[in-house]
Amino acid sequence: MKHLLVFALLSLTFSCGPKEIILGDMQPEKYLPLLEGKKVALLSNQTGLAGHEAGAPHILDEMLSRGVDVSLIFSPEHGFRGTADAGEHVGSGTDAKTGVPIISLYGGKTDLRAPEVLSRFDVLVVDIQDVGLRFYTYYITMFQLMEACADGGKGVVIFDRPNPNGMYVDGPILDMKYRSGVGWLPIPIVHGLTLGEMARMIVGEGWIEKPLSLEVVPCRNYTHASRYTLPVAPSPNLKDMKAVYLYPSTCYFEGTKVSLGRGTDAPFEMYGHPDMQGCDFSFTPESREGAKNPPLLGEKCFGVDLRGLSDDEIIAAGIDLKYVIDAYERCGRPEDFFLGGGDFFRKLCGCAWIQEMIEAGASASEVKARWKDDVSAFKALRQPYLLYP
């Protein structure tokens, strides 16, 4: 009786703990009826795993094993297997494992509305791990495919996944004057949406002109307060969760002359430059897989190591521009700090006024205060499209 009581108590404790998040692609009973008898195109990459471990089966293999007619793969930036550098050209071809043809979308050279593309499938499945940032390009690829599907009368099914930065909303809404390949929709930098919720908002707000048949297979047991650890890197330089959490605050260095650690073991988790003053930490960017020609290659950079920060304090701070401001000051506020006069920095920020405030000497908190109304307005606008509490 004593052993039975202990077992009962352990069972009760386990059942009251957090439930496992069930991804959209882990629910064949939900998605198979939506795909039956149809030719399917798949937008995915190495993150499309039907499970929470790196060794989980890929959704391509899962669908094929269940008799789904996958006729075409669309691959985003970094390619279908996710090994290409940021911005590196990735050609079309064939998946070596399955023989399914691949069309590479990154770079915009494929006419998605062309009859020879649209005739190859009836429904598009999207199963890819986003990280919840306006300048992370996967949602843009999804949007462009959704537009093509609306034009061609094709359906779209999203196998939803958690957003690892989905616990907050932060940053200015994109000024559409700065629309680019790192910012496509009028949303804040950190939008707090899953791709399923984003797709619902795209349709609901009329951001694509034609009607679209959209189905979302939601996650189960997920909320926007959930911490979800990604089983594989979503792109070559987001190597761990600390990089994913710091990404909203350190990606802006891409628009400056300062290195954010590409070519090291911890990109997005440090920053530095040969001219930075008063720094005890240093690193030297090297050529390596995923960063074959990083900025400041082979140059000793003095800077700041952010790896000692806890995940909790990074998340609590949200977008924190103090790192960019610190580097700007330590470099002596040089005129060439913002590359190309600030063109790419402004595209990453989605506006001009952040750079103007930094150059005028504003603090990170003063800059953040200016986008507060944008955050409130977006939270209200997105409310009807949320799938998770």
CB atoms within 10 A of CB 98: 14
Question: How high is the pLDDT of residue 78?
Answer: 63
Give the tokens for residue 116.
């020879």
C-beta separation of 139 from 114 below 8 A: no
The letter for the amino acid at 192 is G
Give the tokens for residue 316.
């609590």
The pLDDT tens digits of the residues spanning 92-129 come to: 688 888 999 999 886 657 788 899 999 999 999 999 99
CA dist 8 and 327 (Å) reads 57
Question: How high is the pLDDT of residue 3?
Answer: 39
Q: Strand runs (DSSP E) across the chain, as ranges?
A: 39-44, 69-75, 93-94, 101-104, 123-127, 155-159, 214-217, 270-273, 281-283, 301-305
The pLDDT tens digits of the residues spanning 139-170 come to: 999 999 999 999 999 999 999 999 999 999 99
Partner residues linked to 157 by β-bridges: 125, 215
Partner residues linked to 270 by β-bridges: 305
CA dist 389 and 384 (Å) reads 12
CATH class of the domain defined by 24-231: alpha beta
Nearest Cα to Cα of residue 259 among 197, 319, 301: 301
Nearest Cα to Cα of residue 191 among 145, 146, 140, 231: 140
Question: How high is the pLDDT of residue 81?
Answer: 62
Where is 223: in which H helix or E strand?
A: none
Nearest Cα to Cα of residue 233 among 22, 49, 47: 47
Distances in Å between the Cα of 331 and the Cα atoms of 81, 262, 379 are: 38, 19, 37
The letter for the amino acid at 6 is V
C-beta separation of 170 from 247 below 8 A: no
Task: Sketch the domain layout of the chain as residue ranges.
Answer: 24-231, 241-350
Rg, Å, the chain Cα set: 22
Q: Which residue has the tokens 């919720």?
A: 197
Full pLDDT tens readout for the chain, 389 residues: 433 333 333 333 333 457 999 999 999 999 999 999 999 999 999 999 999 999 999 999 999 999 999 999 998 876 686 544 544 445 568 888 899 999 988 665 778 889 999 999 999 999 999 999 999 999 999 999 999 999 999 999 999 999 999 999 999 999 999 999 999 999 999 999 999 999 999 999 999 999 999 999 999 999 999 999 999 999 989 999 999 999 999 999 999 999 999 999 999 999 999 999 999 999 999 999 889 999 999 999 999 999 999 999 999 999 999 999 999 999 999 999 999 999 999 999 999 999 999 999 999 999 999 999 999 999 999 999 999 99
The letter for the amino acid at 135 is F
Question: How high is the pLDDT of residue 94?
Answer: 86
- Secondary structure of residue 202 in the 3-state scheme: helix
The pLDDT tens digits of the residues spanning 221-253 come to: 999 999 999 999 999 899 999 999 999 999 999
Global confidence as pTM: 0.91
